[in-house]
Amino acid sequence: MRILPLIGGVMLAASAVPASAATITNGSFELGPEPGSFVTLGTGSTAITGWTVTAGTIDYIGTYWTAQNGSRSIDLAGNSPGAISQTFATIVGQRYDITYWIGRNPDGGLNPRTGFIDVGGGQSQFLYTGSGDRANMQWQRQVFSFNATSANTTLTFAADPRTAGQSFGPALDNVSITAVPEPGAWAFLILGFGLVGGALRRSKPRRVALQFG
Protein backbone atom coordinates (compact mmCIF):
# COMPACT_ATOMS: atom_id res chain seq x y z
CA MET A 1 0.00 0.00 0.00
CA ARG A 2 1.25 3.48 -0.84
CA ILE A 3 1.27 5.51 2.40
CA LEU A 4 1.98 8.99 1.06
CA PRO A 5 -1.27 9.42 -0.90
CA LEU A 6 -3.27 8.28 2.16
CA ILE A 7 -1.51 10.75 4.45
CA GLY A 8 -2.04 13.46 1.86
CA GLY A 9 -5.76 12.70 1.80
CA VAL A 10 -6.04 12.97 5.58
CA MET A 11 -4.16 16.27 5.62
CA LEU A 12 -6.35 17.60 2.80
CA ALA A 13 -9.45 16.68 4.78
CA ALA A 14 -8.06 18.45 7.84
CA SER A 15 -7.39 21.59 5.83
CA ALA A 16 -10.94 21.46 4.49
CA VAL A 17 -12.41 21.97 7.99
CA PRO A 18 -13.60 25.62 8.05
CA ALA A 19 -11.43 28.07 9.98
CA SER A 20 -13.30 28.81 13.22
CA ALA A 21 -10.83 30.75 15.34
CA ALA A 22 -12.00 33.83 17.20
CA THR A 23 -9.81 36.18 19.20
CA ILE A 24 -10.33 38.24 22.33
CA THR A 25 -8.22 41.39 22.13
CA ASN A 26 -6.26 42.23 25.27
CA GLY A 27 -7.98 39.55 27.36
CA SER A 28 -5.69 40.15 30.34
CA PHE A 29 -6.09 43.95 30.16
CA GLU A 30 -2.35 44.51 29.91
CA LEU A 31 -2.67 47.11 27.12
CA GLY A 32 -3.90 50.49 28.26
CA PRO A 33 -2.83 53.56 30.24
CA GLU A 34 -0.63 53.01 33.26
CA PRO A 35 -3.16 52.59 36.11
CA GLY A 36 -0.67 52.86 38.97
CA SER A 37 -2.58 51.44 41.94
CA PHE A 38 -5.88 51.77 40.07
CA VAL A 39 -7.82 54.25 37.97
CA THR A 40 -11.59 54.62 37.61
CA LEU A 41 -13.04 54.66 34.09
CA GLY A 42 -16.55 55.80 33.21
CA THR A 43 -19.16 54.90 30.61
CA GLY A 44 -17.87 55.33 27.07
CA SER A 45 -14.19 54.94 27.97
CA THR A 46 -12.07 53.01 25.45
CA ALA A 47 -8.82 53.53 27.38
CA ILE A 48 -8.30 49.77 27.82
CA THR A 49 -7.31 48.47 24.38
CA GLY A 50 -10.07 46.40 22.78
CA TRP A 51 -12.68 47.12 25.48
CA THR A 52 -15.39 49.74 26.03
CA VAL A 53 -16.97 50.66 29.35
CA THR A 54 -20.66 50.33 28.46
CA ALA A 55 -22.34 51.08 31.80
CA GLY A 56 -21.54 52.69 35.14
CA THR A 57 -17.87 52.78 36.10
CA ILE A 58 -15.09 50.23 36.53
CA ASP A 59 -11.69 50.27 38.23
CA TYR A 60 -8.67 49.47 36.07
CA ILE A 61 -6.44 47.71 38.59
CA GLY A 62 -2.64 47.90 38.53
CA THR A 63 -0.68 47.31 41.73
CA TYR A 64 -3.66 47.47 44.09
CA TRP A 65 -3.98 43.67 44.08
CA THR A 66 -2.37 40.67 42.37
CA ALA A 67 -3.67 39.92 38.88
CA GLN A 68 -4.45 36.39 37.74
CA ASN A 69 -2.35 36.85 34.61
CA GLY A 70 0.16 39.61 33.95
CA SER A 71 -0.01 42.68 36.16
CA ARG A 72 -3.45 44.22 35.50
CA SER A 73 -7.09 43.28 36.02
CA ILE A 74 -10.56 44.81 36.41
CA ASP A 75 -12.96 45.59 39.24
CA LEU A 76 -16.38 45.63 37.60
CA ALA A 77 -17.62 48.24 40.07
CA GLY A 78 -15.70 51.52 40.24
CA ASN A 79 -17.77 54.23 41.89
CA SER A 80 -20.88 52.35 40.75
CA PRO A 81 -21.65 48.90 39.27
CA GLY A 82 -20.27 48.87 35.73
CA ALA A 83 -19.88 46.81 32.58
CA ILE A 84 -17.29 46.33 29.82
CA SER A 85 -17.80 44.99 26.30
CA GLN A 86 -15.88 43.83 23.24
CA THR A 87 -17.07 42.77 19.77
CA PHE A 88 -15.17 40.12 17.79
CA ALA A 89 -15.57 38.09 14.60
CA THR A 90 -17.26 34.68 14.79
CA ILE A 91 -18.60 32.04 12.39
CA VAL A 92 -22.35 31.50 12.39
CA GLY A 93 -23.21 28.11 13.91
CA GLN A 94 -19.76 27.57 15.42
CA ARG A 95 -19.63 26.69 19.12
CA TYR A 96 -17.16 28.57 21.31
CA ASP A 97 -15.95 28.42 24.91
CA ILE A 98 -15.12 31.67 26.70
CA THR A 99 -12.79 31.13 29.65
CA TYR A 100 -12.36 33.86 32.24
CA TRP A 101 -11.17 34.22 35.84
CA ILE A 102 -13.09 35.94 38.60
CA GLY A 103 -12.23 37.27 42.04
CA ARG A 104 -13.57 40.11 44.14
CA ASN A 105 -12.57 43.43 45.57
CA PRO A 106 -11.42 42.30 49.04
CA ASP A 107 -12.19 45.71 50.56
CA GLY A 108 -15.89 44.92 50.50
CA GLY A 109 -15.70 42.13 53.07
CA LEU A 110 -16.36 38.44 52.55
CA ASN A 111 -19.82 38.81 51.02
CA PRO A 112 -20.32 36.81 47.79
CA ARG A 113 -19.97 38.83 44.57
CA THR A 114 -22.03 38.13 41.50
CA GLY A 115 -21.84 39.39 37.96
CA PHE A 116 -23.13 38.61 34.51
CA ILE A 117 -21.57 37.45 31.27
CA ASP A 118 -23.58 38.20 28.14
CA VAL A 119 -22.52 36.82 24.76
CA GLY A 120 -24.59 37.64 21.71
CA GLY A 121 -27.70 38.03 23.85
CA GLY A 122 -27.18 34.84 25.87
CA GLN A 123 -26.67 35.71 29.52
CA SER A 124 -25.42 33.80 32.55
CA GLN A 125 -24.70 34.82 36.12
CA PHE A 126 -21.37 34.03 37.79
CA LEU A 127 -20.70 33.89 41.51
CA TYR A 128 -17.47 34.34 43.47
CA THR A 129 -17.43 33.04 47.05
CA GLY A 130 -13.68 32.81 47.76
CA SER A 131 -11.88 34.53 50.61
CA GLY A 132 -8.87 36.01 48.81
CA ASP A 133 -7.04 39.16 49.76
CA ARG A 134 -4.93 41.65 47.80
CA ALA A 135 -1.81 39.47 47.95
CA ASN A 136 -3.65 36.25 47.10
CA MET A 137 -6.88 36.90 45.25
CA GLN A 138 -7.77 33.19 44.94
CA TRP A 139 -8.97 33.62 41.36
CA GLN A 140 -11.56 31.12 40.13
CA ARG A 141 -11.82 29.83 36.55
CA GLN A 142 -15.15 30.05 34.73
CA VAL A 143 -16.25 28.81 31.28
CA PHE A 144 -19.23 29.98 29.24
CA SER A 145 -20.22 28.18 26.01
CA PHE A 146 -22.29 29.59 23.17
CA ASN A 147 -23.18 29.05 19.53
CA ALA A 148 -22.46 32.05 17.32
CA THR A 149 -25.52 33.45 15.55
CA SER A 150 -23.83 36.24 13.57
CA ALA A 151 -20.54 37.18 11.97
CA ASN A 152 -19.80 39.58 14.85
CA THR A 153 -20.50 38.77 18.48
CA THR A 154 -20.47 41.13 21.46
CA LEU A 155 -19.17 39.96 24.83
CA THR A 156 -20.14 41.88 27.98
CA PHE A 157 -19.15 41.47 31.62
CA ALA A 158 -21.20 43.37 34.21
CA ALA A 159 -21.32 43.70 37.98
CA ASP A 160 -24.54 42.68 39.71
CA PRO A 161 -25.68 45.76 41.67
CA ARG A 162 -27.38 43.55 44.25
CA THR A 163 -24.01 42.27 45.52
CA ALA A 164 -21.48 44.78 44.17
CA GLY A 165 -22.70 47.68 46.26
CA GLN A 166 -21.39 50.94 44.88
CA SER A 167 -17.65 50.30 44.68
CA PHE A 168 -16.80 46.71 45.66
CA GLY A 169 -17.41 44.52 42.66
CA PRO A 170 -16.39 41.18 41.22
CA ALA A 171 -12.88 41.18 39.76
CA LEU A 172 -12.11 39.96 36.23
CA ASP A 173 -8.96 38.84 34.41
CA ASN A 174 -7.56 36.59 31.66
CA VAL A 175 -10.46 36.34 29.22
CA SER A 176 -9.94 33.99 26.25
CA ILE A 177 -11.99 32.19 23.61
CA THR A 178 -11.62 28.76 21.97
CA ALA A 179 -13.56 27.23 19.08
CA VAL A 180 -15.07 23.84 19.96
CA PRO A 181 -14.49 21.28 17.16
CA GLU A 182 -17.60 19.66 15.75
CA PRO A 183 -17.91 15.96 16.75
CA GLY A 184 -18.11 14.90 13.09
CA ALA A 185 -14.85 16.66 12.22
CA TRP A 186 -13.02 15.02 15.11
CA ALA A 187 -14.39 11.59 14.22
CA PHE A 188 -13.33 11.96 10.57
CA LEU A 189 -9.79 13.02 11.45
CA ILE A 190 -9.39 10.27 14.06
CA LEU A 191 -10.58 7.68 11.54
CA GLY A 192 -8.18 9.03 8.92
CA PHE A 193 -5.16 8.92 11.20
CA GLY A 194 -6.22 5.43 12.34
CA LEU A 195 -6.14 4.26 8.74
CA VAL A 196 -2.68 5.73 8.30
CA GLY A 197 -1.46 3.99 11.45
CA GLY A 198 -2.92 0.68 10.32
CA ALA A 199 -1.28 1.00 6.93
CA LEU A 200 2.08 1.71 8.52
CA ARG A 201 1.79 -1.37 10.73
CA ARG A 202 0.95 -3.57 7.74
CA SER A 203 3.74 -2.20 5.58
CA LYS A 204 6.81 -4.44 5.71
CA PRO A 205 10.24 -3.74 4.26
CA ARG A 206 11.09 -5.69 1.14
CA ARG A 207 13.76 -8.31 1.42
CA VAL A 208 16.43 -8.20 -1.25
CA ALA A 209 18.14 -11.50 -2.11
CA LEU A 210 21.88 -11.08 -2.46
CA GLN A 211 23.67 -13.26 -4.99
CA PHE A 212 27.39 -13.98 -4.86
CA GLY A 213 29.71 -15.39 -7.48
Tell me the pLDDT tens digit for each residue of 49-61.
Answer: 999 999 999 999 9
Of the listed ranges 34-43, 138-147, 197-206, the least confidently predicted one is: 197-206
Query: DSSP for the chain?
Result: --HHHHHHHHHHHHHHSPP-----TTTT--SSS--TTEEEEETT---STT-EEEESEEEEESSSS--SSTT-EEESBSSSB-EEEEEEE--TT-EEEEEEEEEE-GGG-S--EEEEEEETTEEEEEEE-----SS----EEEEEEEE--SSEEEEEEEE-HHHHTTT--EEEEEEEEEEPPPHHHHHHHHHHHHHHHHHHHH--PPP------
36-46: per-residue pLDDT in tens? 999 999 999 99
pTM: 0.80
Average of pLDDT values for 24-29?
A: 98
